Amino acid sequence: MTTPLVLTFVGRDRPGLVSAISERVATAGGTWLESRLARLAGEFAGVVLVSAPDAKIEALTDALRGLEATGLRVTIAPTAETAAPPTERLVKLAIVGRDRPGIVRDVTQALTRLGVNIEEFESGVEGEPFTGAEMFHAALRLRLPDGLGLDELRRTLERLAAEIMVDLSVGEGEPVG
């Protein structure tokens, strides 16, 4: 029998971090299933879903904890994957606007009030080519709850976009299931 584990890690960016983690997972007979990894401000962080044989969980945990001596902070959490109900839909949301405090808070609060779950969120700030103004960009993948129509989501986000002065676009995401 195998157990799914969610690993999270953060450490000073340097060559070999992913290799060190994947080596320990493979040595314990584990399988690397899914991951999101990124470099931010000189740090490298990630979240990884692995599956490992129950008999090897303790050895894998010890091996991963051994990476802490190199400055890599690692957490390991057993998880039970649950499938989303087939009635839920995925949509994509893009945000662009002049950077200012509170954009993420305002958007995520509006989504929470609608019962929307954020599956993925990627953002950054870049200087606009001609003016040099700091522009906030974000791309989100959202899971809509049963009963929330795309039109209602769009109306809510359009009102918010006018209030916080950003451009928001909503589109169909990949099919669920």
The number of distinct structural domains making up the chain is: 2
> pLDDT for 70-116, tens place per residue?
999 999 999 976 555 555 689 999 999 999 999 999 999 999 999 99
Per-residue confidence (pLDDT) for residue 174, from 0 to 100: 59
> pLDDT for 11-57, tens place per residue?
999 999 999 999 999 999 999 999 999 999 999 999 999 999 999 99
Same domain, 39 and 73: yes
Same domain, 103 and 29: no
Q: What is the domain extent for residue 97? A: 89-172
List Cβ neighbours of 92 (8 Å cut-off, separation of 6 or more).
Answer: 139, 140, 141, 142, 170, 171, 172, 173
Other beta carbons within 10 Å of 31: 13
pTM for this structure?
Answer: 0.79
Same domain, 95 and 59: no
Identify the burial level of 116 via C-beta atoms within 10 angstroms of its C-beta, where 0-12 means exposed, 13-18 middle and 19 or more buried.
Answer: buried
**Residue at a domain's end among 49, 78, 107:** 78
The pLDDT of residue 175 is above 50: no
Same domain, 98 and 168: yes
Same domain, 39 and 100: no
36: left (phi over 0), alpha (psi -120 to 50) or beta: beta
The CATH number that applies at residue 132 is 3.30.70.260
- Whether residue 138 is contained in a domain is answered as yes
